[in-house]
Amino acid sequence: MGPTPHPAVTALLETSTTGRLRPLFEGNNISFAIGFKHINYVAEAAVLNHFREAGLPVGELYRRFGLGFDVVDLHSRLGALLAVDDEVEAVVTPVTEDGADRLRFKVEQFVERDGKRVKCAGSTILVALRIDDHITAEEPWPAGLERFTTARLGDGERLEIAATPLPYGDFTAGRGATADPVLNEVIGETNAFGWRRRMGYFYCHFNERVQMSGFLRVMEEVEDLFLADRGLAIKEVLDTRGWIPVVTRSRIELLDETVMEEELYTVYTVENVFKTLLYTCRMDCYVLRDGHLVKTATGSITHGYLHEAAPNQWEMAEFDRTTVEALTTPRKAAS
């Protein structure tokens, strides 16, 4: 048997916590509802609070022990609407398995509706503690924490490519490019959309790598670009059909590290359209290293639309034929 775990590590692994959090106003994009990205932000914030309550705040983990907090897998199912003025009761339950090398937490978000406690989202979050070689730890790691540390976040799959990439994009290229030989080769004839984007420092943390929230932003933006490419631009659909995008489930898993200012090749593939109500897309993210495409993240998201059946009463909208055709018909590769 190893040494007795430090009390803070025991609390991290065995004690549930409850925090009261509010979503950021930034997430109130349409009507009075909070979007999926910021619901995931609340889940991450709840786990950060759990670390503080245990006595291991992430700033101290970095400064004292040289360990970076990294969410490496975030899987959420969204239920009831989260409104801009809601206060969320976020319950974090540790569910790390014996011998696991990642910390696993279940996060449940509850709000009050007409005097009742309603669950609006549930998430499973995996956390790795990345050893940072930019700094020197001031103290040894607390006993029991070592098995969750890693020198690197994964080792992503490497793909051979024949295409020659375009020159490095200009810093003022805005939202990046969708016309790229590498993207065309990876997509081929599949029902997918491609996007190439330089990852700025504002997507990153700990001086170096893109964090989970950065990939949530990529997922949100590639969906926006995809819909516009398919003739379903969000503003136009909202104005002409009264449909509001809604997400019922999302997941992102980090497979390798994406470094600040690398160009990210994102492939967004339509996988299923369910009964003209929902569609699921897979997101695969790559960077180009030493002539290979390295997959650094993967994920999926399930989308649909709501329409306002009565003032402030929202129901699922059924896709019309034009929408189904737009979602299911592959576009010709851009050159």
Could you please report the per-residue DSSP string of 200-266?
Answer: -GGGEETTTEE-HHHHHHHHHHHHHHHHHHTT--HHHHHHHH-EEEEEEEEEEEE-S--BTTPEEEE
Residue 311's H or E segment, with its range, is none
DSSP tag of 148: G
Same domain for 184 and 274: yes
Residue 3 pLDDT grade (very low, low, confident, very high; cuts 50, 70, 90): confident
Res 335 pLDDT > 60: no
Range of the domain at 41: 1-151
- The domain that contains 3 carries what CATH number? 3.10.129.10
Same domain for 297 and 184: yes
Same domain for 124 and 232: no
| Of 156-170, 260-274, 288-302, minimum mean pLDDT range | 156-170
Same domain for 198 and 136: no
Per-residue pLDDT, averaged over 199-216, amounts to 96
Same domain for 282 and 269: yes
Q: What is the pLDDT of residues 96-142, one digit of tens each?
A: 999 999 999 999 999 999 999 999 999 999 999 999 988 888 999 99
Same domain for 104 and 171: no
Same domain for 173 and 86: no
End-of-domain residue from the set 104, 124, 151? 151
- Which residues are CB-contacts of 245 (< 8 A; sequence separation ≥ 6)? 30, 223, 234, 303, 304, 305, 306
Name the amino acid, one letter, at 176.
G
Same domain for 300 and 206: yes
Same domain for 134 and 236: no
What domain count does the chain have? 2
Same domain for 141 and 168: no
Same domain for 87 and 4: yes
Same domain for 186 and 274: yes
